[in-house]
Amino acid sequence: MSDTPQAGPAGPDTQTLTPEQTPVAPPSRGRRRKKEGKPASLWTDAWHDLRRRPMFIFSLVLIAILLIMSFWPSLFTSINPMDARTCDLASARQGPSAGHIFGRDNLGCDVYARTIYGASNSILIGVSTTIITGIVGGLLGLIAGARGGLTDTVSSRVTEVFFAIPQILGALLITATFRDKGLGIWIVVIALSVLAWPMTFRIMRAAVITARSQDFVVAARALGASQSRVMFGHLLPNAIAPVIVVATINLGGFIAAEAALSFLGVGVQSPDISWGLMIADARSRFLEAPLPLVFPAVFLSITVLAFIMMGDAVRDALDPKLR
């Protein structure tokens, strides 16, 4: 597909330029295809395409570092910020020094170590919310799009109700109501998932409806394929690409939303660490000591940006129109 000499500019006359499995295969295909049994599918083509995108490689490296950081923070710092003994109130807001390269915060704790450990909660919340909204919204979208009729009408109206809720207000309401139930950071995941699943639902539903009208779905039905076979064998594989793209971009958004909620005091609670919480704590003394705020903010921005860049690159690679 990436080696399709695209018809786009050449107009309709060049349609048959699509890779012909002619007796003589074009050289570019031959190189790509290692052997007969391993043909190119959309995903392998997309992967070949992605590998050549600097933006994708850059975001991939960033995300890899962030993931390692959140799973094994001790690889990056020997200080455990959860241990109160590492903090020293006397040296609060101290600037960068040899052992504390980002300096110390209001309570005299190491900003670098806290920033590293903060990645873990941010990533956990982002990934969990993405998975939950992906499964819930995706599955409901698949069913609504595939069945149509009353199922579709009812579920679409329900999502519209959710869309009408102002996002941050809704999240504030949920987290504020359930903050004392001992759910820890999961309260943030629940709040974000409840509000965000309709977005996944809509994208999946639209993609399924597009796929549903294609002839190969009609052909499967004519063969007597069951509803679940049509849904999972034909519709899902052809509709999942846009959902994956949006999920990747949303992941960045969830991390930002978590920071916002924590900043407002209803998200992650002390002693858990989160970038939003760190920004909130550092805000009051920002003018005297800007660094405890700047470092988590920079990490937050880079993380969100990395996921959005990744989503963009994946979208370009999966969009057949661009190839």
**DSSP 8-class letter at 102:** T
Residue 147 is a binding residue for another protein (CB under 8 A): no
Q: Measuring CA to CA, how many Å separate 318 from each of 10, 15, 42, 95?
A: 21, 20, 7, 47
**What are the backbone dihedrals phi and psi of residue 70, each rounded to the nearest 5 degrees, phi first?**
-80, -25
3-state secondary structure 23-84: CCCCHHHHHHCCCCCCCCCHHHHHHHHHHCCHHHHHHHHHHHHHHHHHHCHHHCCCCCCCCH
Residue 148 is a binding residue for another protein (CB under 8 A): no
**DSSP 8-class letter at 272:** S
Between 203 and 242, how does the x/- string for binding to another protein read (CB under 8 A)? -----------xxx-xxxxxxxxx--x---xx--xx----
Per the CB < 8 A criterion, the answer to whether 276 and 291 are in contact is no
Closer residue to another protein, CB minimum distance, 35 or 181: 35
Smallest gap, in angstroms, from Cβ of residue 122 to another protein?
34
Residue 26 is a binding residue for another protein (CB under 8 A): yes
Between 77 and 116, how does the x/- string for binding to another protein read (CB under 8 A)? ----------------------------------------
Smallest gap, in angstroms, from Cβ of residue 50 to another protein?
14
The rounded distance, in Å, linking the Cα atoms of 248 and 160 is 23
Closer residue to another protein, CB minimum distance, 127 or 206: 206
Residue 27 is a binding residue for another protein (CB under 8 A): yes
Residues at the contact surface with another protein, assessed by CB under 8 A: 1-6, 9-28, 36-42, 153, 157, 214-216, 218-226, 229, 233-234, 237-238
